[in-house]
Amino acid sequence: MPLKFPLGARLITHSLPSTRLASMNSGALIYSFRSVPVLSKAFPFRLNYLGLVSRVNFSTRPERTGPIRASKSLIEDEAELSDWVSDLRTSSMRGKFTSDEDNSVPEVVRRNVDRNDNRGPRRGTGREGVSDRFGGSKRGMEGEVDRFGGSNRRRTSNEPADSFRNKRLGGREGVRNGRVQGKSSESSLRGRNERNVDSGFTRERGLENNRGLGKQTRGLRQEEEESSDEDEKRVVLGSIDDLLSEDSSDEDDLDDEPLIKKAASAKAVETDKPRSEHVKTSDSYLSKTRFDQFPLSPLSLKAIKDAGFETMTVVQEATLPIILKGKDVLAKAKTGTGKTVAFLLPSIEAVLNSPPASRDNRQPPIVVLVVCPTRELASQAAAEANTLLKYHSSIGVQVVIGGTKLPTEQRRLQTNPCQILMATPGRLKDHIENTSGFATRLMGVKVLVLDEADHLLDMGFRRDIERIIAAVPKQRQTFLFSATVPEEVRQICHVALKRDHEFINCVQEGTGETHQKVTQMYMIASLDRHFSLLYVLLKEHIADNVDYKVIIFCTTAMVTRLVADLLSQLSLNVREIHSRKPQSYRTRVSDEFRKSKGIILVTSDVSARGVDYPDVSLVVQMGLPSDREQYIHRLGRTGRKGKEGEGVLLLAPWEEYFMSSVKDLPITKSPLPPIDPEAVKRVQKGLSQVEMKNKEAAYQAWLGYYKSQKMIARDTTRLVELANEFSRSMGLDAPPAIPKNVIGKMGLKNVPGIRTK
């Protein structure tokens, strides 16, 4: 079933958390952060999470299951951000947010603290473009075959695969590098901020339920995906891809005593359980802790049972007791390990513990505000919330995500009030500023969640996030969740979190942020071989996996369209998603892909984070990922819920420098598979059938994307040479001419090799 990675590639394992919270068998690492001076004005507040459940009176139930579930959609996000803004990001963030935070001294409250953080540089992102076409002709397949054991024959997952990859990779046991590093850079870093208390669990401070306040900071500009109007805004902001677009458009603990009580007496818990019980020996994303070991609403527990969740995931087990004690939390856990439920369950408890709204209050307070970077994620979180709220008929969920007219959402908010609101930043800000009574409702917020927090705190979203934080009460609880928490984010998380927040790191030291069951490899090939290589890889994967489900990430929307067009011409079962597709289309394709097998999704970074597609067998990343985090999140679309998966990163030789940013991840360099001349011919033919305007747009978008990559863009002559190489790889004799204004915006005026129109 899997790609035949070098044998050695499968030998590298990275066990999940081997250390765990004394009371809960989890492997999370918890750091408690001390204040920075500016946050010393924290004031106490207590949420009675342990108290009896009180019900809210207003019902929003009917609307909840309708429009919310119907509103799943794929969104554009960072791919939408301006490269120019991205280029400013790293330096600005560092310059601006280091002073106070550098003095903060987090307190480690767990033993066996993992030191595993990010080191990679953060970079700009791609942009999106236009398109609408999939399905594809059946041309081009006849006669192609044997290389793959028959053109249409697929092996079942149990069949042995006798393919070129066995030969190609079988002799490469020694090749795999399995680089597992990461201590050194980190220890120096954490040495500044944290202590490793190796004597157990000492968290008295956490029992106080003190509430701090999120500091509000000055804003940096933000840009989001919200609507076609927003898309237009992005054009103004200089996204090259936008400029090029024509249509603008992710058990044995049988003690039934609620674990929160155990957590409240951490030392006692430590003696209750021998340490050995706290060591996980597998890569399981699940813990052995049952949900009913926590003081959760019986109705929530019933819904959890209905959902088929038997035990908690590691991140759920690790965060819940801390959150239930009223602490702010920054949680890092690998992709596909249940972070959404981790923040939703205690959020529901917060609603239940809130005083019931007055019956004549037509604008009942929003108690829980969940902010997600994309529409898809907000909708997905709402769907997950609805699963958990199955028996909580009095709790309503709404989504404000853009993609629809603001007045439509305004009406919905008014007619179907909710206590839990999922939102994307831009649209949320719109409501704060333009929806009557909305700001008042936000004053009821007791829980603020930033999903994909590192991304939301990044430059692109910062200004809106700061505006949002300013709009909710300082007396609140805040949860930040992500699979990646780069150091820059650690340094600025005080923007949202209280000074005594806890950092719960479910990523074990040395494992990196990726899953051991996901084999990763990268290939270095000249651009002119990329399309053929992709075709060969796909054909092989399809031959080996009867239920293949592949995601191909491309650098920009226009390149996404090009690749989707090509693969369609090659008679592969392809769909495409990127920001320039209409919302309804993205929703439909997303739903289809979620449910389907034997399908390939070509996508831009709109699908990189958080999207929960089950059973993705292979993720291919074509070209440079915007940064280390993006590589991890993209890869995280496979190997979810402890499943196996494969990842291939396809780079040109001059992109290989990227590998230094992921050197701690177990990525194997693979030799190139032989490319059958027949396959080359088919690809060439396929390319010749792709519309010229799509190639032109892809060329320009490609140029725009790589112009945003500093390492490549600093030599503009070389950049244009490379772009022209890409042009040739599409079968073009001469590079497409680019409008003058676009060339000017890209700073490529008079660069040799560029053609102006």
Ligand X SMILES: Nc1ncnc2c1ncn2[C@@H]1O[C@H](COP(=O)(O)OP(=O)(O)OP(=O)(O)O)[C@@H](O)[C@H]1O
Contacts with ligand X by CB under 6 A lie at 250, 309, 312-313, 316, 333, 335-341, 384, 483, 610, 612, 636, 640-641
**CA pair distance 233, 235, nearest whole angstrom:** 5
Is the CB of 140 or the CB of 336 nearer to ligand X?
336
Q: With the C-alpha atoms ordered 711, 713, 717, 722, is the resulting torsion angle positive or negative?
A: positive
Q: Minimum distance from CB of 252 to ligand X (Å)?
A: 16
Is the CB of 101 or the CB of 615 nearer to ligand X?
615
Residue with tokens 């999207």: 611
Residues with Cβ within 8 Å of 703's Cβ and at least 6 positions away in sequence, in order, are 240, 719, 720, 723, 738, 746, 748
DSSP reduced 3-state for 421 = strand
Q: For the chain, first and last CA: distance in Å? A: 49
Give yes or no for a contact between 587 and 154, defined as CB atoms under 8 angstroms apart: no
**CA pair distance 400, 421, nearest whole angstrom:** 7
Using alpha carbons, select from 424, 379, 373, 429 the residue that is nearest to residue 402.
Answer: 424
Using alpha carbons, select from 543, 602, 615, 495 the residue that is nearest to residue 162.
Answer: 543
Give the DSSP letter of residue 455: H
Which token pair is 399? 């989504």
Q: Minimum distance from CB of 641 to ligand X (Å)?
A: 5
| 114, HSE (Cβ side, Cα atoms, 13 Å) | 31
DSSP reduced 3-state for 276 = helix
Is the CB of 452 or the CB of 466 nearer to ligand X?
452
Q: Minimum distance from CB of 633 to ligand X (Å)?
A: 7
Is the CB of 133 or the CB of 390 nearer to ligand X?
390
Q: Minimum distance from CB of 41 to ligand X (Å)?
A: 33
Q: Minimum distance from CB of 496 to ligand X (Å)?
A: 18
DSSP reduced 3-state for 458 = coil
Which token pair is 410? 């305004």
Is the CB of 333 or the CB of 624 nearer to ligand X?
333
Using alpha carbons, select from 298, 292, 299 the residue that is nearest to residue 320.
Answer: 292
- Please state, in angstroms and as integers, the Cα–Cα distance from residue 352 to each residue in 56, 304, 345, 392, 458, following that order: 7, 16, 11, 9, 32
Give yes or no for a contact between 424 and 344, defined as CB atoms under 8 angstroms apart: no
Q: Minimum distance from CB of 484 to ligand X (Å)?
A: 9
Is the CB of 326 or the CB of 610 nearer to ligand X?
610
Q: Minimum distance from CB of 96 to ligand X (Å)?
A: 27
Give yes or no for a contact between 435 and 411, defined as CB atoms under 8 angstroms apart: no
The alpha carbon torsion through 78, 79, 82, 87 (nearest 10 deg) reads 70
Is the CB of 385 or the CB of 533 nearer to ligand X?
385
Is the CB of 190 or the CB of 339 nearer to ligand X?
339
Is the CB of 212 or the CB of 338 nearer to ligand X?
338
Q: Minimum distance from CB of 311 to ligand X (Å)?
A: 6
Q: Minimum distance from CB of 29 to ligand X (Å)?
A: 16
Which token pair is 8? 């050695």
Is the CB of 629 or the CB of 655 nearer to ligand X?
629
Q: Which amino acid is at 455?
A: H
Give the angle subtended at the CA of 685 by the CAs of 682 and 686, to the nearest 5°. Answer: 85
Give yes or no for a contact between 216 and 38, defined as CB atoms under 8 angstroms apart: no
Q: Minimum distance from CB of 1 to ligand X (Å)?
A: 21
The 3 state secondary structure assigned to 392-446 is CCCCCEEEECCCCCHHHHHHHHHHCCCCEEEECHHHHHHHHHHCCCHHHHHCCCC
Is the CB of 169 or the CB of 348 nearer to ligand X?
348
Q: Minimum distance from CB of 287 to ligand X (Å)?
A: 8
Residue at shortest CB range from ligand X: 250
Q: Minimum distance from CB of 90 to ligand X (Å)?
A: 23
Sheet holding 667-669, edge to edge: 574-577, 599-603, 549-553, 618-622, 645-651, 518-524, 667-669
Q: Minimum distance from CB of 21 to ligand X (Å)?
A: 16
Tallying the residues shown for the chain, one arrives at: 757
Is the CB of 307 or the CB of 443 nearer to ligand X?
307
Q: Minimum distance from CB of 285 to ligand X (Å)?
A: 8
DSSP reduced 3-state for 207 = helix
Is the CB of 337 or the CB of 516 nearer to ligand X?
337
Residue with tokens 């029992």: 207
φ, ψ at 90 (rounded to 5°): -60, -50
Is the CB of 336 or the CB of 673 nearer to ligand X?
336
